[in-house]
Amino acid sequence: MKKEYNSLYIVQEHDNIDMIAKKYGVSSLSILIANNITPGMIKKGKVLFIKK
């Protein structure tokens, strides 16, 4: 099954998953699941897939 995403986001210094989720109007959990990560894996420069 092909995954489709609406946006890509490059993590900036001092970002956290909740800030990113709020910016895109999605849940933190949806970002974590879409990227198969845990909150501790959010690091500057990481590309996140955002599905609305």
Q: Where are the domains of the chain?
A: 11-50
Cα–Cα distance between 17 and 39 in angstroms, integer?
A: 6
Q: What is the DSSP letter of 2?
A: -
This prediction has a pTM of: 0.84
CB 18 within 8 A of CB 47: no
Please report the pLDDT score of residue 15 as a whole number: 96
Please report the pLDDT score of residue 50 as a whole number: 95
Q: Write out the two tokens for 22.
A: 């709020």
Q: Is 40 exposed, middle or buried (0-12, 13-18, 19+ CB in 10 A)?
A: exposed
Sign of the dihedral through C-alpha 22, 37, 10, 3: negative
CATH of 11-50, one of 2.40.128.630, 3.10.350.10, 1.10.287.70, 1.10.1760.20: 3.10.350.10
Chunk the chain into consecutive blocks of 10 residues (it has 52) and report each block's average pLDDT, rounded to whole numbers. 78 96 96 94 95 82
